[in-house]
Amino acid sequence: FQKKSLAGKRVLVTAGPTFEPIDPVRGITNLSSGKMGYAIAQAAWEAGAHVTLVSGPTALDAPYGVQRQQVQTAQQMHDAVMAQVSTQDIFIAVAAVADWRVANASDQKIKKTNESDTPQLQFAQNPDILASVAALAKAPYCVGFAAESENLLEYGTAKRIKKNIPLLVGNIGHQTFGKDENELVLFDANGHQALAKADKKTLANQLVSEIAKRIQTN
């Protein structure tokens, strides 16, 4: 009998897109399906962890064994994460969080009047959830994701340092949203390492083993 690699650990995962309202029936979102984050939450549970998944709107069922909290906006995701992160050992930020919210969102549905009169949206910056967690005095082991469309090795190395996190996972190519397969590169203080193209479930299991290896020696 071998002890599971994350036995006794508490893992918090964000996944999916966020949804930023324009008015009660409209909003801004992105093409994240949540598949990678959900697969990671499932893999962490299978590795013996207690897993909480803070998820934006997706079409996916909660992974078996995982405690899911559903949110819509980046601010709600931030608040849900910050409320419980102090009890966590590992934080994995997989969500595609909207960088901006609509600052002048309307409480009522915006009416179409005439062609020259179009709504003017203003934006405010959303909190960076991963940066907020990484900045905590007692931060859990933080894992970030990066979807770069070019120069992944260069940008990935720089982003890990800028985000002040021990492990950053780069998506190779930017066509990953909604797909069942992915190809990843892991960046840590020792350099980078590729995980060959595979389905998201396989990659999630590999990533969880890589995280487990790193926290053992942390």
Distance separating the N- and C-terminal Cα atoms of the chain: 24
Catalytic center residues: 30
Residue number, 6 or 152, with CB nearest to ligand C5P: 152
Contact assessment for residue 69 and residue 212, using Cβ atoms and an 8 Å cutoff? no
Residue number, 5 or 75, with CB nearest to ligand C5P: 75
Single out the residue of 34, 140, 144, 156 in contact with ligand C5P (rule: CB under 6 A).
144
Single out the residue of 22, 110, 139, 146 in contact with ligand C5P (rule: CB under 6 A).
146
- Residue 109 marked ligand-binding: yes
- Residue 163 marked ligand-binding: yes
Nearest-CA neighbor of 172 among 191, 189, 195? 195
Q: Which residues pair with 93 in a beta bridge?
A: 14, 144
Tell me whether residue 120 is exposed, middle or buried, using C-beta atoms within 10 angstroms of its C-beta: 0 to 12, 13 to 18, 19 or more.
Answer: exposed
97 binds ligand C5P, rule: CB under 6 A = yes
Number of residues that bind ligand C5P (CB under 6 A): 13
- Residue 145 marked ligand-binding: yes
- Residue 127 marked ligand-binding: yes
Query: In 10 A of CB 185, how many CB atoms?
Result: 19
Single out the residue of 71, 129, 167, 172 in contact with ligand C5P (rule: CB under 6 A).
129
The residues near 166 (Cβ < 8 Å, ≥ 6 apart) are: 141, 142, 143, 188, 189, 214, 218
Residue number, 71 or 130, with CB nearest to ligand C5P: 130
Q: Which residue ranges are tagged as binding site for CTP?
A: 99, 109, 127-130, 145, 159, 163
The residue ranges that bind ligand C5P (CB under 6 A) are 14, 74, 93-95, 97, 126, 128-130, 144-146
